Structure 1
Amino acid sequence: MILRGIAQVVFQPNPWVGLVFLAALFAGGWQFGVFGLLGAVTATLTAYLLGAARSERVVPGLEGFSGTLIGVGLVLYLDTRWMTALLVIFGAVVGSVLTSALDVLLKPYRLSGLTAPFCVVTTVVVVGGTAFGRVWAEHAGTAPPSTAAPGLGMSWTHLWQGTFNGIGQIFLQNQWYAGLIFLAGLVLAGWRVGLVALASSVVGLLTGWLLGAQAADLGAGLYGYNSVLTGVALFGTFVVATPASAVYALTGAVTAAGFTAGIGELFAVVGGHTLTWPFVLVTWTFLAAVPMFSRIART
């Protein structure tokens, strides 16, 4: 259940995929593996103890993925401290409740909460953390790479590292080798999933480049990961895989990349971060529109 919860970050109910993802987190840094695992365990245990549907929700890992991301996100933004561990535990508990609340609210529209619980909890903690000395005293520096290396000229290194980082940034990892391990996990889930993820990362990167995004940010994968999640969601996961849905998913991936800068600038005003908000908002919109299109069908 725990490993499936980690794999469900990218919609895969496969414990072996979750194990590869966990290995990728540890490759990015031991703290990401430990705190991601702490969040997954806490969220899953919370749902189990509160009586969430075991066969429909807990066993497939649908209660663990937001907790995983909460753990990784908070240790990234708040650093490795005991206070961060407490916040991850509490945040994963709240995220579990929020997951169920969104499931109830969105069920009539055949939508799921996706990673919205992670986005809400992490945004609230990071934005509100400045008011609490024990939370914010040693917070980690999280300025975008372009702050230190501005410029629009994209090199081959930016392109190939950005492609892998675009997958790794789903878990907030900017080491290309971690992204490569995540990609291997997706290929393990199925060659089509891996191919869609790889193509969506390239689409997000090229969209950012065409719009004039900073090359260092492109190389870090900051314009790819929301496109990856959106592409995988709209092609074969929530939407039947057809030539028409491939174009639909491509459009969604481009849109998610375009949203990235706007949402990032919006949250930067209050000290927040882009996270996976573009993916959540774009995917909700595109899935809600499916019943109006005769050539697109929900799975």
Structure 2
Amino acid sequence: MFVDQISLSAKRLSCGFSQVMLQENRLTGLLFMLGIGFNSWLMLACAVVGSCSSMLAAMMYRADTADLDRGLYGYNGALIGLAVSFYLPLSLSSVIILIVCSMLATVIQRLLVTVRVAPLTGPFVITGWMALLLAQWFDLNDTVLPIVGNDLAVTVFVDELLSEGAVQAISHGLGQVMFQGNTVTGLLFIAGLAVAAPKVALWGVFGSVLGYEAATLLQYPEPLVAAGLFGFNGVLVAIVLGDRFPNRFLLIAGGIIMTILITRGFQLLGITPLTAPFVLTSWIIFLLDCLSRTGKSRNKAAG
């Protein structure tokens, strides 16, 4: 019984990590966790705490067991854990913020589902901004946790091997979905997507490629482009729209470019974008598609 419970918890945790990129695959989740741990074991630990906190809140809310098994109540918490560990130093206050915001994300997710709005990473964006505001309120030092693993010989070797700006930036675009600016981590994320479905991996890479190329063409700040900060929202949009509108290439490309513009807008306003550009772009396209289908149905009925 105990072993079965551990196995179920491990499945929910790994699926929760895979759901960060909208996949339901235990191996994908494990590769994502491996990628994070390779870059920083401390960030991985915080992500696990966030995911478990979010799932605990879901169980307290008596969420559907099938949704828990699919990892649908783990990914927002994992992202909050990553965000808190990236932006704040590890302390009792930051851990409390991490746990509270992760649990609150579940409440927000259930509210969005109730009103029939696709949650995506919306709960993470809302609670992530709350976490940053709370950090300012408690006057926490805005420093980044040490990134364990960046000085490993294998990482240095791979980074030198892939020293071309475009290749590195594209890999970082995948990695930055989970706050990882590491080439090896990005490659592990691509492998994780490929395990779930090769087509999904291609869409993810395409989102990062187009994000890099468009940001370069628009002459956005080179350090931000190289870090993949204009790619990760495009990765998520490409995956979501590629699944929902597989034959509408121009729509998908337009969605990716929209995330780049929104990301830059947030930066100019001094607001941390997180995955808000992805969420806003997806919601706008979903709404327009819904209105379009509703209009066509009314026209047919009138005809």
Moved over 4 A (4+): none
Report matched runs for 1:2-17 at 5 Å: 2-17=13-28
User: Normalising to structure 1: TM-score of the pair?
Assistant: 0.85
Measure, in 1, the Cα distance between the counterparts of 2:98 and 2:135: 13
Are the aligned partners of 2:54 and 2:106 in contact in 1 as well (CA < 8 Å)?
Answer: yes
Are the aligned partners of 2:175 and 2:185 in contact in 1 as well (CA < 8 Å)?
Answer: yes
5+ unaligned residues in a row in structure 1: which ranges?
143-154, 295-299
Q: CA deviation at 1:293?
A: 4.8
The alignment status of 1:76 with 2:115, answered yes or no, reads: no
Residue of 121, 138, 143 corresponding to 1:140: 143
Measure, in 1, the Cα distance between the counterparts of 2:132 and 2:210: 29
Q: Deviations over 1:178-201 (max 9, x none)?
A: 111111100111110001100110
Measure, in 2, the Cα distance between the counterparts of 1:260 and 1:160: 21
User: Normalising to structure 2: TM-score of the pair?
Assistant: 0.84
Measure, in 2, the Cα distance between the counterparts of 1:186 and 1:207: 23
Are the aligned partners of 1:43 and 1:96 in contact in 2 as well (CA < 8 Å)?
Answer: yes
Are the aligned partners of 1:157 and 1:219 in contact in 2 as well (CA < 8 Å)?
Answer: no
Measure, in 2, the Cα distance between the counterparts of 1:170 and 1:164: 11
Q: Give the corresponding residue for 2:63.
A: 52
Are the aligned partners of 1:158 and 1:218 in contact in 2 as well (CA < 8 Å)?
Answer: no
The alignment status of 1:259 with 2:258, answered yes or no, reads: no
Q: CA deviation at 1:81?
A: 2.3
Q: CA deviation at 1:82?
A: 2.8
The alignment status of 1:231 with 2:230, answered yes or no, reads: no
The one-letter amino acid of 1:181's match is: L
Measure, in 1, the Cα distance between the counterparts of 2:284 and 2:97: 31
Are the aligned partners of 2:215 and 2:230 in contact in 1 as well (CA < 8 Å)?
Answer: yes
5+ unaligned residues in a row in structure 2: which ranges?
1-11, 146-161, 294-303
Q: Deviations over 1:247-291 (max 9, x none)?
A: 21111011111211101222x1xxx41100100000000111113
Q: Give the corresponding residue for 1:36.
A: 47
Q: Give the corresponding residue for 1:149.
A: none
The more displaced of 46-55 and 189-198 is 46-55
Residue of 181, 186, 193 corresponding to 2:193: 186
Q: CA deviation at 1:159?
A: 1.0
Are the aligned partners of 2:85 and 2:144 in contact in 1 as well (CA < 8 Å)?
Answer: no
Residue of 222, 246, 251 corresponding to 1:241: 246
Q: Give the corresponding residue for 2:9.
A: none
Are the aligned partners of 1:207 and 1:258 in contact in 2 as well (CA < 8 Å)?
Answer: no
Larger Rg: 2
Measure, in 2, the Cα distance between the counterparts of 1:158 and 1:81: 36
Are the aligned partners of 2:208 and 2:232 in contact in 1 as well (CA < 8 Å)?
Answer: yes
Are the aligned partners of 2:97 and 2:134 in contact in 1 as well (CA < 8 Å)?
Answer: no
Identity of aligned residues (%): 26
Measure, in 2, the Cα distance between the counterparts of 1:89 and 1:78: 14
